[in-house]
Amino acid sequence: MAKEAGFAFTVTVDDSAGSGRDISNDIMSLAISTPRGSQDITGLDKSAVERILLLADGQVTLDGAFNPASNMSHDVFKRVSTTSVTRTVALAISGQTLSMEMLFTDYALTRANTGELTWSAPAQLSNGTAPTWS
């Protein structure tokens, strides 16, 4: 398989009513993390560290340009501070999709001194199902 650049991501996020919205056009960057916990189980008879893997986790941070249009990023995230709903986040690139049920913990708006209005929205895994690419 050939290596690829990170072009043409599709990002779909549920709004507060549970409808998936493609907000790819509003997103300028994203960070995806699917870490696993680990436990040090090194016995006194070992000369190097011994570990086992623990629970899986998932985190996503989306950063974008403010867009108040219907069904776009502001519409999707504007109720993060007032609703506690789990949202499906689907990230797709090159035929590979990572879907996770997530809780968004913030919708931070930043207005730079040059006039840009941007946002950042971090999310964490919520339902106990390990993130898996398909």
Give the domain CATH number at 81.
2.40.30
In a domain, 90, yes or no: yes
In a domain, 93, yes or no: yes
The DSSP bridge pattern shows strands 96-104 and 87-93 to be antiparallel
In a domain, 119, yes or no: yes
Output the pTM of the full model. 0.88
Q: What is the pLDDT of residue 99?
A: 96
Q: How many domains does the chain have?
A: 1
- As a whole number of angstroms, the distance between CA 129 and CA 8 comes to 26
Q: What is the pLDDT of residue 1?
A: 58
In a domain, 4, yes or no: no
**Confidence band (pLDDT; 50, 70, 90) for 7?**
confident
Domain with 22, as residue range(s), is: 10-39+53-133
The DSSP bridge pattern shows strands 87-93 and 20-22 to be unpaired
What does the pLDDT average to over 75-96? Answer: 93
In a domain, 3, yes or no: no
Amino acid at 88: T
In a domain, 2, yes or no: no
Q: Tens of pLDDT along 35-79?
A: 999 999 999 999 999 999 999 999 999 999 999 999 999 999 999
Span between the terminal Cα atoms of the chain, in Å: 16
In a domain, 34, yes or no: yes
In a domain, 46, yes or no: no
